[in-house]
Amino acid sequence: MLSDIRVSCSPHISERFSTRSVMIDVIIGLAPAMAAAVYFFRMHALMLIVACVTSCVAAEWLCNLIRKKPNSLDDFSAVVTGVILALSLPPSLPIWAAVIGGVFSITIGKMVFGGLGGNIFNPAMAGRTFLTVSFGVLMTSWTVPASIIPEMPAVAQENTLDARTQATPLAWSKLAIKNELGADIYSEQQFMATLTGEVGGCLGETSVIALLIGGIYLLIRRTINFHIPLAVLSAAFVFAGIAYLIDSYVYVQPFFHLTSGGLFLCAFFIATDPVTAPLTRRGMWVFGIGVGALTMLIRIVGEYPEGIMFSILIMNAVTPLIDRFFKRIPAGGSPNV
């Protein structure tokens, strides 16, 4: 018999989505990139990922304990932060630095703002910025993937630069800009290398194919919208193309910019972090274009070879403004009350 009558406001049914399922989806989407990272950079990559995830989870647990808040680990957002942070670290980074990054990401990047949903900046990017500023040398020394046969030349093939130490394509292209070397070494083979990931770079950003698989999974699952990735990639392409058209000797091809560096990781997994991205469609376009354009600006004009991290943080900071500026108008027009 009916003895326990529940009352609440409507609706009484809901879609079987939860914050946890959204976060688990992101982790599944990142799985190919993690696998690629472990394949290319072997044991140390795995240790970095584990270290980041563990330190993030531990930091969140400790913060909740100190703030006397209910445990929020079951929403898996700390794990996502840890994985994204690990994938944006250089493969030769010592474990202790990764742990520091993870703790910073969660405590200063997220928990001081009140936990999930309250943070202004992407926690993983905040942690990475902290590491870049603190340990500049460690964060810019790259090792080549373990799968590369020593005889096989890396990207900077016909170049005088040593491919072993200056292995990332972007660092090389930066040098090309600075030293006014010829940038037209972009061959089919190198393009293939940036697609599969057999180049130097951060853990998760080298293999474009793995990132694309994960991104498409997220798009199919409707965990992310196509607006931000499309805006980031197309804006980056357009701005790189403009630079290329201005001086094709110094500046590399736009396709090169698209596939090298962390652009795909950023477009599908970092810029789409819902907490720090705008809510409205038009806002998403503006946000994505801003990220893409700023990244290119830093890559081409700025001092750093890679600009993803800073452009994300800058656009995160303007997200509230974008949201306020691109307000939605009701279907029936704004009422004149």
The least CB distance from residue 30 to other proteins, in Å, is 17
Binding letters toward other proteins, positions 86-115, x by CB under 8 A: ----------------------------xx
Q: Evaluate whether 278 touches 323 at the Cβ level (below 8 Å).
A: yes
Q: Which stretch binds other proteins (CB under 8 A): 90-98, 132-140, 241-249, 328-336?
A: 328-336
Binding letters toward other proteins, positions 211-240, x by CB under 8 A: --------------x---------------
Distances (CA, A) of 294 to 93, 181, 260: 26, 24, 16
Q: Applying CB under 8 A, which of residues 66, 112, 279, 317 lies at the interface with other proteins?
A: 279
The least CB distance from residue 287 to other proteins, in Å, is 12
CA pair distance 249, 185, nearest whole angstrom: 10
Residue that the structure tokens 């907490």 belong to:
275
Distances (CA, A) of 119 to 84, 104, 139, 240: 16, 13, 25, 31
The least CB distance from residue 156 to other proteins, in Å, is 41
Task: List CB contacts of 173: < 8 A, sequence separation 6 or more.
Answer: 183, 252, 256, 260, 299, 305
Q: Applying CB under 8 A, which of residues 14, 43, 133, 149 lies at the interface with other proteins?
A: 14
Q: Applying CB under 8 A, which of residues 133, 149, 220, 337 lies at the interface with other proteins?
A: 337
6 interacts with other proteins by CB under 8 A: yes
11 interacts with other proteins by CB under 8 A: yes
CA pair distance 276, 186, nearest whole angstrom: 35
CB-facing half-sphere around the CA of 41: CA atoms within 13 A:
31
Residues within the interface to other proteins (CB under 8 A): 1-19, 21-22, 72, 75, 77, 114-118, 225, 274-275, 277, 279-280, 327-335, 337
